[in-house]
């Protein structure tokens, strides 16, 4: 499908720069706020207007783009809510001033495509620019979009990313809807809580992708997306996905699980885990970064890290498994127990087709 | 309010309203152009400053183009406010 | 294809408006806003209750944006003679676009966002995806399903995305399009930018002073050659391109760089020369910035600019739906071999020699271009060709 040339991640843990999971940070009041990088590359005149989602995306991507020898042919972003905080700030103005004289910058910055637009603006990128907003599959659709574009532009490079922010407003909305824990919980107890809901997170993971394996970090070989609440359908889909894309003699070595501590997601998760080889290692990450619509981008970044380091950071291990070399990783995400994605990530084998 | 005091207050309000990071009132000269060079504000800022004049000083400017003629620098802004404020 | 807009509740209603030069722009009647009678809008004069009843929806939490999409999708599905099995097929993709989503519910959103009460019925209906997810359930769609939001070019990009999926064999057909409803959020957002006109908009006119907002839904069923066999073909999508102006968050460069790249790219992807286009359905919003930038861009790309008009005076600027609405109008033009007038135009812009069509004109049309340019410099151009 495509090769990942470079990847960066801004998350609630020290993942930007030198990743360090040795003493993980904890959520506060069920919220995992991102560790923001310094924004030195961004002119203050532009930074002052940026809502958090835009800041996180630009903070993650800009240094990587500036250091890359060529300009990507396009920028494709997946986001669930975009700049929700800016939207609500504008909404509050509408109410407070009864539709009177209002300041427009919150409105302009709140449009979900402002993230991709700002990245284009800051780098003078006049190529393809798109924003996918299919909630828990927004990032996956951005990746799919890049994959299709690469079939048409075989020598191109694209920037693909997933980003979402916690705002007081979208936290409240999802809390009222029952998607976050009613009780305050710590990371250590997330998976054993036995209650509905999870904890909120935010972050940005950005990737430069192409069809060129030279110097690439990892190879995304296949992806499958699914809308269902039925664990049986999830299991069936995984089975045919592995049959179509897997090599029966080479099952995945590592499974990166989108487990999030919501008891309602357990049946689908268990159906998936039941299909794994007995000695597969299992990693999970939402106790470290929380859950949100585009968190699967962080999972993909983690996958590239695990392949590069040939080890799973201790803080992520659910099951050690029987690892020698890590060459195939299966990623599974489950968002609000309705949107599912499977992704196969493999080591780069020189000369293999994308 | 004394003119100098108004200009000082105005600088603080501009900084806060436009979220000008790392800019202090003493960094802004009274005759420094707000747009183009100088402070480097843009068309969205000119609209926002019109809203500022309305909310803080009760002044209504309908057309942003008219607004740009008034919003040249702190001096002209303060001048206009003193002549037209209703708050 | 299927459509609902202020200009008509279906294809034939919209076509009649175009043929009769009838604009539906006027004061708001069913929408409480300070601007209801101060500014003109392209309002669909059908209440949410009626839309719900006609769609047979009894469950709570369904926004107007979602409700408007249903009749347009039904019309498109019916015209394309899609069966239940076709809809259920994993080879049928669905690419939807919206900018408003559930943000049309100002009061409920504010209460929920600030956790004022126990939560309204719309908690899962605010984001753009909620529209798509509801429509997937309503129509039983199981294939690749996605939502795009790139402001005013959104549904043009949805069309482009659907074409790509079919071209690369990930789908045999794609239902593509977009929807947006009028919302205090967008009304006040555009008003705060001083780009709403207090009069009916005058695209490309020297005295133009802004746009009128509208609401609409429009969807196309695109099929590969095999799936389309034996069915009525409105047009073929022969070219498309998306590019970025990269100049300013909410206005286009004076030289129209993004529009130039989009139009040139669309021609190239269609394998056509500028001289092969007989008519352009322009983005033509009536703002000072867009119409000048677009004119300059058309001159740069075409030299001798073909016949062009803006159909936004019939419907208003329907934001996320605009690309799809104007795709439908472009295809109606091809079908009727007629280009439709730019209403309200009297005087050319001083900075340009271009004059849009001011009368409905019968013209042999093989290839038509449709432009959509959005905030953030997002520029898309589509080329439709006679079947």
Residue A228's CB: how many other CB atoms inside 10 A?
Answer: 16
C52 inside 8 A of chain A by CB? no
Tell which of C101, C188, C247 to mutate to test the A interface (max A CBs under 10 Å).
Answer: C188
Q: Choosing from C104, C152, C241, C379, which is the catalytic residue?
A: C152
Q: Suggest the residue from C36, C140, C148, C191 to mutate for an interface test with chain A (most A CBs closer than 10 A).
A: C148
Tokens read off for C332: 């109606």
Mean pLDDT of A223-246: 94
The minimum CA-CA distance between B45 and chain C, rounded to whole Å, is 10
Mutation choice for A interface testing from B18, B36, B63, B67 by most A CBs within 10 A = B18
Q: Subunits touching B (CB < 8 Å, at least 3 pairs)?
A: A, C
**Per-residue pLDDT, C218:** 98
Beta strand pairing call for C2-5 and C216-223: antiparallel
| Confidence check: pLDDT of A29 > 90 | yes
Chain A interface, best mutation among B17, B37, B48, B61, by max A CB count within 10 A: B48
Nearest-5° Cα angle at C97, C107 to C57: 60
The mean predicted confidence, pLDDT, of chain A is 94
Each residue of A132-149: b (16+ CB within 10 Å) or e? bbbbbbbbbbbbbbbbbb
Local confidence band at C375 (pLDDT 50, 70, 90 cut-offs):
confident
Active site residue C283: yes
Cβ <8 Å between B64 and C194:
yes
Query: How does DSSP classify residue A161?
Result: E
Query: Which A-chain residues 52-91 have CB contacts (< 8 A) with chain C?
Result: 75, 80-82, 87-88, 90-91
Place of tokens 């812009």: C349
What is the per-residue pLDDT for A43? 86
Tokens 């509801």, residue located: C134
Do C375 and A176 lie within an 8 Å CB cutoff?
Answer: no
> In angstroms, what separates the C-alpha of B77 from chain C's closest C-alpha?
21
Q: Is C194 on the interface with B (CB under 8 A)?
A: yes
C376 and chain A in contact, CB less than 8 A: yes
Residue found under tokens 């992806």 = A223
Compare all CA atoms of chain C with the CA of B44 and give the residue at the minimum distance.
Answer: C193
The answer on pLDDT for B2 being more than 80 is: no
Distances (CA, A) of C241 to A86, C153, C256, C315: 30, 11, 15, 25
Q: Which H/E stretch holds residue C253? A: none
Tell me: pLDDT of A353 over 90.
no
Read off the pLDDT of residues A166-216 as tens digits, 9 standing for 90 and up: 988 889 999 999 999 999 999 999 999 999 999 999 999 999 999 999 999
Report chain C's mean pLDDT, rounded to a whole number: 96
* Mean of pLDDT values over A238-258: 87
Note whether A329 and A254 are within 8 A (CB): yes
Taking the CA of residue C168 and the nearest CA in chain A, the distance in Å comes to 7
Q: If pLDDT is split at 50, 70 and 90, which confidence band does A352 have? A: low
CB burial of residue A121 (10 Å; 0-12, 13-18, 19+): buried
Within the 197-216 window of chain C, which residues sit less than 8 Å (CB to CB) from chain B? none
CA A99 to chain B, closest CA, distance in angstroms equals 13
| Burial class (CB within 10 angstroms; exposed 0-12, middle 13-18, buried 19+) of A205 | buried
Q: What is the pLDDT of residue B38?
A: 76
pLDDT of residue B8: 94
Q: Do A92 and C136 touch (CB under 8 A)?
A: no
Top-confidence residue, A230 or C230:
A230
Cβ atoms of C154 and A131 within 8 Å: the answer is no
C335-372: per-residue pLDDT in tens? Answer: 999 999 999 999 999 988 899 999 999 999 999 999 99
Token reading at B37: 């060079």
C114 catalytic per annotation? no
Q: Which residues of B touch A47 (CB under 8 A)?
A: 21
Does the pLDDT of residue A249 top 70, yes or no? no
Beta-strand relationship, C378-385 and C173-180: unpaired
Instruction: Give the torsion sign (CA, C279, C281, C287, C292).
Output: negative
Could you say which of C104, C128, C241, C283 is catalytic?
C283
Asked if the model's pLDDT at residue A248 lies above 80, the reply is no
| Coil/strand/helix, residue C246 | coil
The structure tokens listed for A126 are 């006049």
Whole-complex ipTM = 0.97
Is C233 annotated as catalytic?
no
| pLDDT tens per residue, range C4-27 | 999 999 999 999 999 999 999 999
**Residue C58 confidence class, pLDDT cut points 50, 70, 90:** very high
Measured between beta carbons, the chain A residues lying within 8 angstroms of C246 are 120-121, 123-126
C292 three-state secondary structure:
helix
Q: Scanning every residue of chain B, which has its alpha carbon at the shortest distance from the alpha carbon of A105?
A: B44
Answer yes or no: is pLDDT of B58 > 80: yes
CA distances from C381 to A73, A240, C371 (A): 17, 38, 5
Q: Which of C211, C194, C181, C188 is nearest to C43 (CA)?
A: C181
pLDDT band at B1 (very low <50, low <70, confident <90, very high): low
Chain B residues lying within 8 Å of A114, measured CB to CB: none
C251 lies within 8 A of chain B by CB: yes
Give the pLDDT confidence of A308-319 residue by residue, as tens digits: 999 999 999 999
Q: Do B19 and A44 touch (CB under 8 A)?
A: no
CA nearest to A268, candidates A185, A182, A339: A339
Supply the pLDDT for residue B40: 82
User: What b/e readout covers A246-279, taking b as 16+ CB neighbours within 10 angstroms?
Assistant: beeeebbbbbbbbbbbbebbbbbbebbbeebeee
Mean pLDDT of C326-330: 98
Closest CA to C361 of C18, C23, C13, C22: C18
Which residue does chain A place closest to B49, by CA atoms?
A103
Average pLDDT over residues C110-121: 88
């Amino acid at each position: 499908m495509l090769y990942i040339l470079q990847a960066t991640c801004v998350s609630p843990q020290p993942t930007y720069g030198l990743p360090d999971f040795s003493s993980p940070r904890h959520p506060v009041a069920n919220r995992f706020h991102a560790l923001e990088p310094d924004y030195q590359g961004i002119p203050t005149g532009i930074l002052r207007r940026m809502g958090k989602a835009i800041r996180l995306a630009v903070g993650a991507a800009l240094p990587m783009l500036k250091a890359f020898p060529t300009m990507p042919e396009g920028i494709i972003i997946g986001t669930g809510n975009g700049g929700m905080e800016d939207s609500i700030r504008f909404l509050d103005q509408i109410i407070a001033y009864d539709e009177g004289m209002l300041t427009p910058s919150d409105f302009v910055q709140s449009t979900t495509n402002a993230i991709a637009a700002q990245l284009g603006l800051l780098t003078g990128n006049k190529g393809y620019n798109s924003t996918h907003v299919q909630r828990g599959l927004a990032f996956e659709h951005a990746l799919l979009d890049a994959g299709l574009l690469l079939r048409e532009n075989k020598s191109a490079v694209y920037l693909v990313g997933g980003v979402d922010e916690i705002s007081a407003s979208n936290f409240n909305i999802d809390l009222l809807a029952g998607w976050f824990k009613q009780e305050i919980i710590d990371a250590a107890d997330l998976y054993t809580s036995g209650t509905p809901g999870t904890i909120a997170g935010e972050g940005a993971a950005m990737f430069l992708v192409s069809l060129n394996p030279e110097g690439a970090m990892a190879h995304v070989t296949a992806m499958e997306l699914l809308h269902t609440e039925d664990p049986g359908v999830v299991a069936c889909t995984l089975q045919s996905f592995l049959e179509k894309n897997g090599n029966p003699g080479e099952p995945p070595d590592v499974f990166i699980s989108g487990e999030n501590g919501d008891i309602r997601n357990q049946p689908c998760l268990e159906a998936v885990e039941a299909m794994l080889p007995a000695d597969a290692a299992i990693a999970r990450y939402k106790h470290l970064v929380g859950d949100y619509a585009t968190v699967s981008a962080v999972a993909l970044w983690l996958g590239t890290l695990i392949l590069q380091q040939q080890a799973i950071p201790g803080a992520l291990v659910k099951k050690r498994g029987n690892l020698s070399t890590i060459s195939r990783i299966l990623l599974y995400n489950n968002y609000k127990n309705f949107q599912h994605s499977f992704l196969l990530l493999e080591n780069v084998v020189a000369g293999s087709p994308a | 309010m004394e003119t100098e005091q108004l200009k000082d207050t105005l600088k603080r309000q501009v900084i806060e309203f436009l979220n000008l990071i790392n800019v202090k009132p003493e960094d802004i000269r009274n005759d420094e152009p707000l747009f183009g060079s100088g402070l480097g504000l843009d068309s969205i800022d000119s609209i926002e400053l019109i809203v500022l004049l309305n909310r803080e000083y009760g002044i209504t400017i309908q057309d942003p183009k008219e607004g740009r003629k008034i919003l040249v620098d702190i001096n002209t802004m303060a001048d206009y406010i003193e002549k037209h404020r209703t708050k | 294809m299927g459509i609902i807009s202020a200009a008509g509740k279906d294809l034939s209603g919209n076509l009649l408006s175009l043929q009769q030069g009838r604009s539906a722009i006027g004061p708001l009647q069913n929408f409480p806003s300070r601007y209801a009678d101060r500014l003109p809008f392209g309002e669909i004069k059908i209440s949410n209750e009626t839309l719900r009843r006609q769609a047979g929806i009894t469950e709570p939490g369904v926004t107007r944006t979602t409700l408007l999409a249903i009749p347009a999708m039904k019309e498109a599905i019916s015209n394309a003679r899609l069966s239940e099995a076709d809809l259920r097929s994993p080879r049928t993709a669905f690419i939807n676009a919206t900018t408003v989503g559930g943000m049309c519910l100002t009061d409920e959103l504010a209460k929920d966002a600030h956790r004022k009460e126990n939560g309204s019925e719309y908690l899962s209906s605010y984001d753009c995806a909620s529209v798509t997810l509801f429509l997937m359930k309503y129509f039983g769609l199981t294939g690749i399903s996605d939502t795009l939001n790139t402001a005013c070019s959104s549904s043009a990009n949805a069309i482009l995305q659907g074409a790509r999926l079919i071209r690369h064999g990930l789908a045999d057909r794609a239902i593509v399009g977009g929807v947006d409803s009028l919302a205090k959020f967008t009304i006040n957002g555009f008003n705060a930018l001083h780009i709403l006109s207090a009069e009916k908009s005058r695209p490309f006119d020297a005295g133009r002073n802004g746009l009128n907002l509208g609401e609409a839904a429009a969807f196309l069923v695109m099929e590969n050659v095999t799936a389309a066999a034996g069915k009525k073909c409105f047009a073929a999508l022969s070219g498309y391109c998306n590019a970025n102006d990269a100049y300013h968050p909410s206005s286009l460069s004076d030289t129209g760089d993004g529009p130039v790249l989009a139009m040139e790219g669309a021609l190239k992807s269609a394998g056509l020369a500028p001289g092969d286009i007989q008519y352009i359905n322009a983005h033509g919003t009536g703002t000072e910035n867009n119409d000048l930038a677009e004119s300059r861009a058309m001159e740069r790309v075409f030299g001798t600019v073909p016949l062009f008009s803006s159909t936004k005076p019939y419907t208003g600027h329907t934001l996320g739906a605009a690309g799809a609405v104007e795709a439908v109008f472009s295809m109606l033009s091809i079908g009727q071999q007629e280009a439709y007038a730019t209403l309200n135009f009297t005087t050319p812009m001083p900075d340009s020699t271009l004059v849009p069509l001011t009368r409905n004109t019968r013209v042999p049309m093989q290839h038509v271009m449709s432009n959509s340019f959005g905030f953030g410099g997002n520029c898309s151009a589509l080329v439709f060709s006679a079947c």
